[in-house]
Amino acid sequence: MSRIFWSNTYSVGHPDIDSEHKKLVEIYNRIVDAVESFNDEPEDRQELMTLLVIFKQNIKRHFFTEESVLSRLNYPDLPNHQLLHFDSLGKISSIDVHGISKKEYRKMILETVGEWWVNHLLIEDMKFKDFILKNL
């Protein structure tokens, strides 16, 4: 897993959404560091679980902000986007690194937290960028 370096190309054109995305990337990078320095000590698992909880709390708040902005602007594809948020939240909530091997949890984190970046932000959130730029 590698760290993400924020660049303006990741902007979706809305300051509140962008600043929450940046905050999530910051937590994401802390998760990457925790995964990379993981030594399978109980404190390592605890640290990772704490970071995942922080990520989950922030993403929950973020989905709410994003949906409120899109709803105010009457974004036509909002129902579909809400469903994707609901799905991501379910996946992230189900992560539990207690009692599983390093290989398993790496895969699990990549499939959940990593997927939020690759499939959600870079693909799904980018779909409303033009809409926001035209309607804000």
Interface residues with Fe ion (CB under 5 A)?
66, 125
Alpha-carbon distance 22 to 6, whole Å? Answer: 7
Nearest CB to Fe ion, comparing residues 48 and 70: 70
DSSP class of residue 76?
Answer: T
**Where are any strands of DSSP class E within the chain?**
none
Rounded least distance, CB 73 to Fe ion, Å: 14
CB of 90 to Fe ion, least distance (A): 14
Q: For residues 47 and 125, which CB has a smaller minimum distance to Fe ion in the complex?
A: 125
Structure-token match 């300051």, residue found: 15
Question: Could you give the angle at the alpha carbon of 14 between the alpha carbons of 13 and 19, nearest 5°?
Answer: 110
Q: How far apart, in whole angstroms, are the C-alpha atoms of residue 6 and residue 119? A: 16
Q: Which residue, 27 or 97, has its beta carbon nearer to Fe ion?
A: 27
Residue at shortest CB range from Fe ion: 125
88-102: burial string, b at 16+ Cβ within 10 Å, e else: beeebeebebeeeee
Please report how close the Cβ of residue 46 comes to Fe ion at its closest, in angstroms. 28
Taking the complex as a whole, how short is the minimal distance between the CB of residue 124 and Fe ion, in angstroms? Answer: 6
- Closer of 92 and 97 to Fe ion (Cβ): 92
